[in-house]
Structure formats: structure tokens, C-alpha cells
Structure 1
Amino acid sequence: MEEGKESKDPNVAISRTSQTRVLPQRLLKLLVFFLVLCFTFSIVSIYMIRYFGVNNVITSVKPTLFPCNSEMKSLEQWIKPPSNLMHEMSDKELFWRASLVPRVKKYPFNRVPKIAFMFLTKGPLPLASLWERFFKGHDGLYSIYIHSLPSFKADFPSSSVFYKRQIPSQVSEWGKMSMCDAERRLLANALLDISNERFVLLSESCIPLYNFSTIYDYIIGSKYSFMGAFDDPGPYGRGRYNDNMLPEVNITEWRKGSQWFEINRKLALYIVEDTKFYPKFSKFCKPACYVDEHYFPTMLTIRAGSLLANRSVTWVDWSRGGAHPATFGGSDITEGLMKRMFEGQKCVYNDQPSSVCFLFARKFSPSALQALFLLAPKFLGY
């Protein structure tokens, strides 16, 4: 009887009906929420693919699937020179990177020593076509680096040996520390190629006096580096010395030499890593003390004087007088001048007398190019 009464109670019936309605409503809300979530995810995915691309999305997942050092599996990637000379390193970062040297002296690969030809210029290389002829057929034995004004953008064709050989540069001024900074920058970039063994500093007005094979054998075969470093007791030598150089540099160690040098890898590292002498020269050797004539000759004499030949391999003509050597234009390029650059030379090469003393010559203006082209096969051998 009680059960019959309960089943007939209208309140009980209404309660059961409301419970059966609540359950489907909850399921419906969950279903709607799930659909909204899927729709939102789809919209976000489409947006990312449209604006960032499928490759980027896939690439972002790859580091979680591969080891971070996967690109360092072969030695070639340690010894291969940089494919692009332009970088974003500061000088401080660059010099640190360039100063890293292996402690094991024997190379575990067939290392062919190269000569780094470093051009310190303001802008164009007007004699580039002559150098192109000089380098032709000698790939793998040289590398080229160009330091120009930052505003200058070279436009060499892809077939040129000078194509994309500019390095990050800064403004440099003659006779000031910024000039030495530019030279250190060239050396540091060249040191990043582990096969570069010798380093030659040149200007846009320089020409090679012999063919490539002759110059290569002469430089690679030399026991010494070619940098002038002599003791000048006069006003343009010791007269430029400042007592504030002490104790790092004594006046008896003060040296002078040509800006245009050739050095080996060991000396290039000494220049790049130097923090002992640089501050002194930067602060106390200012015009009329021309730091590019004294900093490297003095510092290298102190650190490794026995490795210096104490002469330059770049010929210049001072016979006209003045603060700068003579500049030769098109009308100056004669057979007489060519002979004058070769004849009467006497020097010492590997401790033996030699008549081959200069490998390069300067200063030649752009107007000299055509005449040099005509006489080069007869006198220069290329």
C-alpha cells in the first residue's frame, strides 16, 4: 500500500522527470565545450601556418627529436673556412675567437698551407683585374680578405676571386690606432681559416712583381717573417718615444718599420691576442708618433724578434721626397720603371745573400692599369 501511494505521489513523479532532464543537459554542455575547443585549435593552427609557414612549425619540433650536436660529427666542419666572411661579432669577440689554437701540433688531415692576401683599402680595387690574372689557376693556395670603409659595398661578379671577400669593417685613419685596429681585424678574420699560414698586408695600389708560384714558394719557404723593425736614433724614431711607455716598452726596444708586412701564423696570433702593449700605444703614440709605424715592429721585436727578417717585401719609391712615396700613373709605366723595380737588389733570404728582395710594389694609380697589363707578361711573368 505504501509503495502504491508513493508511485502515485505527483511530487515524486516531477522529481524523477527533472533528474532525467538534467543528465542530457550536462552532456550537451560538455559536447558544446569540446566542439568550441576544437574549433579554436583549428583557427589557431591555420593562423600559424599562414603567417609562419609549415616548415617553421616543423623545424621548431626538430630539436626535440635530434641531438643538439648533430652538426659536429665530422672534422671537416671544424677545419672548413667560413663560407661567409660577414658576421656580427664585435672586435672583442672576434679576437677571442681568432686566438683559439690547438695544443696538438700535428694536423690530423692533409693541411695545405695558404697565403692570406689582406687588402686594406678605402673603397674600390682599381687594379683588381691584374690581381685576377695573378691568382688564376691557383685555387686552394690562397685566400683573400678586404677591409674597406663601412659605407663601401663592393660589386664584384660571382666569377671574381674578390666576390664576397669583404669583412666587417670600421673607419680607419692614417697614422692613428684605428689603422692598426683595421689590420688586426684583417688578421683575426684570416686566422679563422686554419689553413692560412702566412699573411700579407696590401693596399689597393699594390701589384705583385712575380707570378703566383714564385711568390708562394718564396713566402712559404721563408724561415722569417718580413717586417721592418729597426732602431732609428733620430727624431722620427726614438724621438717619437714617450716615457709613459714604461715599463712595458723601454726606449732601447723602440722600433720603426713599414706598415706593409708579411708575417707567419704565430706572429699573427701575437698581434691579435695582445692586451699588454696595445693600451700603451693607443694612449701614448699619437701624431707626430705614427702608431702604424711603431706598434707591430716594437711589440713583435720584444716577443719574437728572432723571427723577423727586419725588412719589407713591398717596394716603394721615396726618391721624390715628402711624407708619402711616389705614385705612378699611366705615363710612368715604362720598361725603365719595370727594370728599376728589379735591378740592383741585395738582401738576405734564409740567412743567404739574395737578389730577390721585393715581391710587391706600390703605389700605382688606376690610370696605370692598362700599361701594367701590357708589360706584365714580359716583366712580371703573368
Structure 2
Amino acid sequence: MTPVQWGQLSMVDAERRLLANALLDPLNCQFVLLSDSCIPLFNFSAVYGYLAGSHLSFVHSFDDPRSAGRGRYNKRMWPTVSLAEWRKGSQWFAAHRELAVGIVLDRRYYLVFRENCRPRCYADEHYIPTLVSKLFPARNANRSITWVDWSGGGPHPAAYRRRDVSEGLLRRMRDGSTSRCSYNERATSVCFLFARKFDVSALEPLMLMAPALLGF
């Protein structure tokens, strides 16, 4: 088995294998991919209800005109994927079963990425967002449910360590004070179910706050 390497197509291969194995259980209807630095912002019942009640999947997919977006496009992908169809997005997603099946069954777009998406094209940031935008636009909310802070710029988001963790921080992530979104065609302030990027040193204070915030 090919080892998974950051920025390589092997990351997409791993995602597709995870989905394929989860799809073997016919009772699985929602498929969520998270980072090991993610934390839940709500308890299991709330997360389950939000995902199960949604008419749409949550895959972040957008047209980024910068060098880190369109600048990664390889013209050899045309005509299967044009520059206008090229998308970027978060690697962390929540997909309905129909969409998960489509990702696993795809060969056409996967082969184009395998041949033409190599650093500085990072397949895990482009393959699923592009595929979903082309094949399932009406089935996707086109947003992530994982809160992240990119305000500092650079290739990686802000990281939260022990000294950064507070109830105020977590409540701001939960209550939508910095964002509004749509859920089943209605405006809501509950846009994020998870958050990242949390360092292992943040675990102890997070566990101490969990009973009050998550109702454990």
C-alpha cells in the first residue's frame, strides 16, 4: 500500500478508501472527514441532528483567483476540467451518501488529477471541491462546518494552545458572532460544528470546559 504523503494524490486515495469502507455499511448516511486537530463545538446529539436534518452536504468549494488557487491549474486538464471549473476548498467535509458514492465511483476526474495535479497543485485541496462543483452543485451547501482562522495569512491557519483556550473563544466559534450562513434555506448563526487547529496542549483545559459547553 502506498504511504500517505502530505500534498500528494495519496491523500485523496486515503479519503476515497475511507469513504469506500464506510459505505459498506448501508445504514451509514453521513460521512464526515475531520483533522486530528479538530474539536467538536457541540455534543454528539446536536451534531448528529444538524447533519441528519440537512438537505445538503457540506463541501467547501470556491474559485480562488490567486496563485494559490487558479495558479495551480494545469492546462493539460482541459477539456475535462477547465480553468473556469477549477475549484479550491477545505479538505474537511460532511457528505451525504449520494455524494460519497459519487466520489468513490469517479474515475474520469480522478485520472485527470492523477496525471496533472502535482506540487504545487495539492490534490486534497482541489479534487473533491472541483468534482462536487461539477457533478453535485445542487446537492452541496458549498461551505465548511469546521471553524478555522486564516486571518494571519500564510499556508497554515492559526493554532490554539493551552494558553489560548477559554470559554469565550469556544462560545464565539459556536454562536456565529463572526458569521451567518444558510441551513435548509434559512438563515442561521450555527454555521460550525467543529473547530481547528488545536494543539495537544489544549486538551486538558478543553476537557475541563466540556461539561459546561457540551453538556457531558
TM tier relative to shorter chain: over 0.9
| 8 A Cα contact 1:170 1:182, kept in partner | no
1:359 paired residue number: 193
Q: Count matched residues.
A: 214
Whole-Å separation in 2 of the counterparts to 1:378 and 1:202: 23
> What are the Cα deviations for residues 49-107 of structure 1, in whole angstroms up to 9, with x where unaligned?
xxxxxxxxxxxxxxxxxxxxxxxxxxxxxxxxxxxxxxxxxxxxxxxxxxxxxxxxxxx
> What are the Cα deviations for residues 110-156 of structure 1, in whole angstroms up to 9, with x where unaligned?
xxxxxxxxxxxxxxxxxxxxxxxxxxxxxxxxxxxxxxxxxxxxxxx
Matches for 1:1-382 after TM superposition, within 5 Å: 170-343=2-175, 344=177, 345-382=179-216
Whole-Å separation in 1 of the counterparts to 2:68 and 2:154: 14
Structure 2, unpaired ranges of 5+: none
- TM-score of the aligned structures, taking structure 2 as reference length: 0.94
SS of 1:226's equivalent in the other structure is: coil
Whole-Å separation in 2 of the counterparts to 1:173 and 1:324: 17
Whole-Å separation in 2 of the counterparts to 1:209 and 1:270: 29
Structure 1, unpaired ranges of 5+: 1-168
Whole-Å separation in 2 of the counterparts to 1:286 and 1:271: 20
Q: Per-residue deviation at 1:340?
A: 2.6
Q: Per-residue deviation at 1:380?
A: 2.8
- TM-score of the aligned structures, taking structure 1 as reference length: 0.54
Sequence identity, in percent? 56
Whole-Å separation in 2 of the counterparts to 1:171 and 1:365: 24
Give the partner amino acid of 1:312.
S
Greater relative contact order (CA < 8 Å, ≥ 6 in sequence): 2
Q: What is the Cα-based RMSD across aligned positions, in Å?
A: 1.3
| 8 A Cα contact 1:228 1:297, kept in partner | yes
| 8 A Cα contact 2:41 2:170, kept in partner | no
SS of 2:99's equivalent in the other structure is: helix
Give the partner amino acid of 1:373.
M
Give the partner amino acid of 1:282.
R
Give the partner amino acid of 2:105.
E
Query: Which has the higher Rg, Structure 1 or Structure 2?
Result: 1
